[in-house]
């Protein structure tokens, strides 16, 4: 078994036994990818013999330091490789070259020799693979598990794009010629992914805004509540006015008949017994008419408001009596201010219903009194006429 095979066997067992499962990217699969990339570059860059051997050994050991941890893993890899190579009785010069190649994989290091350029390019061979997206996702999981770095989809895509465009470059001729176009293809894929995510986020933001607007708008149930209640109030007000109109009409007829037919006959002494019943009838009709008129009599309001009233949310702009004397421009401004403020709008609608209710309560109370007077007056009048006729 030659040195390269011994290195492979040692590293595979080492990573299998001692590498944490948290390293989903920097594991044996990554090491194997780098080794295969070194083989390809050695073939294309015409590197053979001892140079190829030292490159492959360095490739096998370059990430073994992860068994200790991420920090200074390259230096730890050098220690592990040095111990192994000394056991295999390799020369100090060979060990030194392997060590320098391992240290050339430090992320910020700029390679100087041809061999350093080969291992540097091989360490980033995943950038040109067809499984680039999957590989990046494994690195993302590793960073979350080991460093607690949690990237959103957009943040991670931007990180990858920044690395591909600004922080990475190939050095060997073969990589520049053959791998660079593949890298650019993956770069384009990342750009498209970012654009897609931006569109998705914009659509989500638009949906959120629409949902928010929908929530802020009156619900259909609230609309129905106000519409039905206002309709009921309006109908009840109409019924009250109709009832008052009936009382006015009936009692006006009674008074008209009394004035034209009964009162002229009271001058005669023989009709003296009809004075009291007639007086009772007229009084009850007059009182009924008074209360019926009071129930339908409108309340006079000022019809003006100030901007301070609107700012303090004191005015009910849904009632004409509060604005009929105001200029159109002021009323238009006030209505727009109210519609911008959801609380003010709802509060105004509630006040409108409340005060309509108070008006209805007053109407029906006065109507009740009017009907009671009318009913009692009719009863007393009939009784009075009966007593009057019996006393003749």
Is 80 exceeded by the pLDDT of residue 330?
Answer: yes
pLDDT of residue 216: 53
> What is the band of 187 on the pLDDT scale with cuts at 50, 70, 90?
very high
- pLDDT, residue 300, reads 66
Residue 13 has what pLDDT?
A: 95
Which has more confidence, 49 or 206?
Answer: 49
What is the model's pLDDT at position 86? 95
- Mean confidence (pLDDT) of the chain: 89
**Integer Cα distance of 371 and 364 in angstroms:** 10
The answer to whether the CB of 243 falls within 8 A of the CB of 367 is yes
Residue 58 or 300, more confident: 58
Instruction: State both tokens at 11.
Output: 């590293």
* pTM of the predicted protein model: 0.56
Dihedral angle over CA of 244, 246, 250, 251, nearest 10: 0
- pLDDT tens figures, 84-133: 999 999 999 999 999 999 999 999 999 999 999 999 999 999 999 889 99
pLDDT at site 279: 87
CA angle (22 as vertex; 21, 23 as ends), nearest 5: 90
Residue 238 in this model has a pLDDT that exceeds 70: yes
Radius of gyration (C-alpha) of the chain in whole angstroms: 50
Confidence at residue 234, expressed as pLDDT on a 0 to 100 scale:
84
- Tell me if 288 sits within 8 A of 374, measured CB to CB: yes
The average pLDDT across 59-88 equals 95
pLDDT-derived band at 309 (thresholds 50, 70, 90) equals confident
Contacts of 223 (CB under 8 A, 6+ apart): none
Region 163-188 average pLDDT: 95
């Amino acid at each position: 078994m030659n040195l390269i095979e011994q290195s492979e066997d040692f590293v595979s067992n080492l990573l299998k036994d001692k590498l944490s499962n948290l390293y989903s990217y920097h594991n044996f699969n990554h090491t194997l990818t780098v080794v295969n990339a070194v083989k390809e570059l050695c073939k294309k860059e015409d590197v053979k013999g001892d140079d190829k051997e030292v490159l492959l050994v360095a490739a096998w050991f370059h990430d073994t330091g992860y068994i200790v941890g991420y920090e200074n893993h390259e230096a730890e890899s050098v220690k592990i490789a040095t111990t192994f190579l000394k056991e295999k009785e390799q020369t100090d010069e060979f060990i030194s070259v392997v060590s320098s190649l391992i240290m050339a994989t430090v992320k910020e290091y700029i390679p100087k020799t041809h061999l350093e350029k080969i291992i540097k390019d091989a360490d980033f061979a995943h950038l040109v693979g067809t499984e680039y997206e999957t590989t990046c996702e494994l690195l993302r999981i590793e960073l979350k598990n080991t460093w607690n770095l949690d990237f959103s989809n957009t943040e991670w895509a931007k990180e990858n794009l920044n690395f591909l465009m600004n922080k990475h470059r190939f050095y060997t001729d073969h990589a520049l010629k053959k791998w660079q176009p593949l890298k650019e293809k993956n770069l384009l894929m990342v750009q498209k992914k970012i654009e897609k995510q931006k569109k998705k986020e914009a659509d989500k933001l638009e949906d959120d805004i629409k949902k928010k607007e929908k929530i802020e708008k009156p619900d259909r149930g609230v609309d129905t509540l106000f519409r039905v209640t206002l309709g009921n109030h309006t109908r009840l007000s109409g019924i009250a006015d109709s009832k008052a109109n009936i009382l006015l009409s009936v009692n006006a007829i009674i008074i008209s008949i009394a004035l034209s037919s009964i009162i002229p006959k009271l001058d005669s002494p023989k009709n003296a017994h009809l004075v009291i019943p007639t007086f009772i009838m007229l009084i009850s009709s007059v009182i009924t008419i008074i209360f019926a008129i009071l129930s339908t009599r409108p309340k006079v309001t000022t019809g003006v408001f100030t901007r301070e009233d609107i700012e303090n949310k004191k005015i009910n702009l849904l009632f004409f009596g509060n604005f009929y004397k105001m200029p159109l421009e002021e009323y238009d401004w006030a209505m727009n201010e109210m519609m911008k403020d959801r609380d003010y709008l709802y509060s105004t609608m509630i006040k409108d219903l409340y005060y309509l209710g108070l008006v209805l309560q007053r109407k029906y109370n006065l109507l009740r009194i009017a009907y009671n007077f009318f009913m009692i007056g009719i009863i007393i009048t009939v009784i009075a006429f009966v007593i009057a006729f019996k006393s003749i």
